[in-house]
Amino acid sequence: MIEIDTLTDLVDPVVIAAFEGWNDAGEAASAVVAHLIEAWDATVVGAIDPEDFYDFQVNRPVVGTDDQGMRQLTWPTTRIAVASPPDLERDVILVHGIEPNMRWRQFCAELLAACDDLGGQLVVTLGALLADTPHTRPIPVTGTATEPELVDRLRLEQSTYEGPTGIVGVFQDACARLDIPSVSYWAAVPHYVAQPPCPKATLALVGQLEELLETRIPLGDLPEDARAWERGVDELAEEDEDIADYVRALEETRDTTDLPEASGEAIAREFERYLKRRDDTG
């Protein structure tokens, strides 16, 4: 079991989890949790024992040097951190790790038991997948939830995916079996620029978390990184006419698909988010 460092009681904590690997196209999802750990000055309070869950020939330990110049070995694992965001009336439990190579059910059970010990009230999982979407348009984010009230309040665009799943899907299923309310957000990363990072997709997932938590999350360099990423992909497309033609075809398909709601709920949601951020910074 995961040993948690002694803590004072957390206030109505929400769990936000992401895992590197199959569920993390462009490392967009894990980058969200890494960003939140830094932005909210989170403290690591526990880590799962990697011995039972990771194949060290696939996920090798890393040798490095610490701040005192001493050599140290870092094992691949999944860590739990806690934060008390200043603009949020609840605490946050952040789970950041690597998709395990084995014993997935035990892995999920141990993580959820640790989150329960910390008082976790809601679990939010983040993922990213490769998709036929143009980099020039807003990154699509789909969501699922185990509670109908959450689906209605968050106006989720329910995922219709059927097929193989990763640890994010198994983790959410474990929540459902234990009657733990959970939400899962997935960002669609353009498949023709699959290499990480993908800050535009990371930013899209952060936007969904802002809506869920009803708070403003410090964005740091993410907006500028997202713009720079898009400019860089533009330049690559300009150098290859086949890619440029493909992107234009994706844009036409996307615009045609989005047209019926162009003046409806999607734009209203974005406008509400814009107004909230403007009010918070005014």
Provide the 8-state DSSP code for 25.
G
Taking alpha carbons only, the member of 215, 184, 187 closest to residue 200 is 187
Which residue type, as a one-letter code, is found at position 236?
Answer: L
For helices 241-258 and 222-238, give the axis angle rounded to 10 degrees: 120
Model confidence at 66, in pLDDT bands (50, 70, 90)?
Answer: confident
Would you state the CATH architecture of domain 14-281? 3-Layer(aba) Sandwich (3.40)
Q: Where are the domains of the chain?
A: 14-281
pLDDT at 263: 44
pLDDT at 271: 56
Residues 72-82 have pLDDT tens digits of 999 999 999 99
pTM of the model: 0.88
- 226, 199 in Cβ contact below 8 A? yes
